[in-house]
Amino acid sequence: MVIKLDLKSKNLKSLKRFLFIFEKFCASYDNQSIKAISNKNIKKVLFSVLKSPHVNKRAQEQFEFKLYNTKIIFYSLKYLKILLFLKFLSKNFFSDIRFKVSFTLKNKSILLNMSKFYFKKINFSYLINTDINGENLFKIKF
């Protein structure tokens, strides 16, 4: 399974540390191999804030931050272990890095955004259907 990671962060040191830890993790398993690591362009964002409560164009401050992007493409058979490892790293150590994970399995592409892990909304009719199906299966078995 080919896995693509898109990493975005404002902190370059944190991004480099993550890449170092992730390379060590991939090197510890035999069936994982990193194919490519590419650093994209640095995106600069500028914005201005007015100091004055009134309209005074001269009393303004400008701020800038940089957004660093990196892509990793690698091959692995243990994709669930990688997902758990990425979730553990993002939750405990690298909270400033945003992950976007995409899988390719037999020409099917699956896209997963690690920053938005939400459960599927379950409505009442879905619960009734699963309850009825479960009861029918239980009656057939016994």
> Over 70: is that where the pLDDT of 37 sits?
yes
Please report where in the chains the tokens 């091959």 appear, as a residue.
75
Which run of H or E residues covers position 128? helix 124-141
- Specify the 3-state DSSP secondary structure of 51: coil
Extents of the domains making up the chain: 2-141
The DSSP-derived string for 64-81 is EEEEEEEEEEEE-S-HHH
pLDDT, tens digit, 9 for 90 and up, residues 101-127: 887 766 666 665 554 444 455 555 666
Q: Considering only CA atoms, which of 38, 95, 42, 39 is closest in space to residue 65?
A: 42
| Average pLDDT value for residue range 137-141 | 66
77 CB-near residues (< 8 Å, 6+ apart): 1, 31, 32
Fold category of 2-141 in CATH: Alpha-Beta Plaits (3.30.70)
pLDDT at 54: 77
| Average pLDDT value for residue range 76-103 | 82
> Over 50: is that where the pLDDT of 26 sits?
yes
| Average pLDDT value for residue range 2-24 | 87
38 CB-near residues (< 8 Å, 6+ apart): 70, 71
pLDDT at 119: 45
pLDDT, tens digit, 9 for 90 and up, residues 58-72: 888 888 888 899 888
pLDDT at 101: 85
- Specify the 3-state DSSP secondary structure of 34: strand
- pTM for the structure as a whole: 0.64
